[in-house]
Homo-oligomer: A and B are copies of this chain.
Amino acid sequence: MISTLIGLSAATLTMFSFIPQIARALRTKSVKDVSPVTLFQLSLGVCLWIIYGVLRKDPVIITANVVTLISLGILIFLFFKYGREK
């Protein structure tokens, strides 16, 4: 079904979307223009999406948001690491 294929492509693109941001932070060792509020707000939202996925027993929602949460966790770690070094 075409909509499933589009949904899967959408999920794949969005769940890995912070990998380039992590790569950039690691390369430049600078994260000062990245908003920490955005990172924390997104992380909280993504946590709620995971709970929603668990309650609805939806493995696609769970998987996509766990991947996003891990990348956001790495970014928050880098934010504090590089933020403190300056």
A74 in the interface, Cβ–Cβ < 8 Å?
A: no
Tallying the copies of this chain within the complex gives 2
B6, B12, B45: the one contacting A10 at CB < 8 Å is B45
- The answer for the CA separation of A55 and B56 in the assembled complex, in Å, is 21
Can you name the residue of chain B whose Cβ is closest to the Cβ of A4? Answer: B52
Chain A contact residues: helix, strand, loop or mixed: helix
Contact B48 A13 (CB under 8 A): yes
A28: chain B residues within 8 A (beta carbon):
33
- Residue interface bits A25-58, CB-to-B below 8 A is 1, else 0: 1001011111101100110111011011001100
B17, B23, B45: the one contacting A45 at CB < 8 Å is B17
Query: Do A42 and B25 contact each other (CB < 8 Å), given the known contacts A6-B55, A48-B6, A55-B2?
Result: no
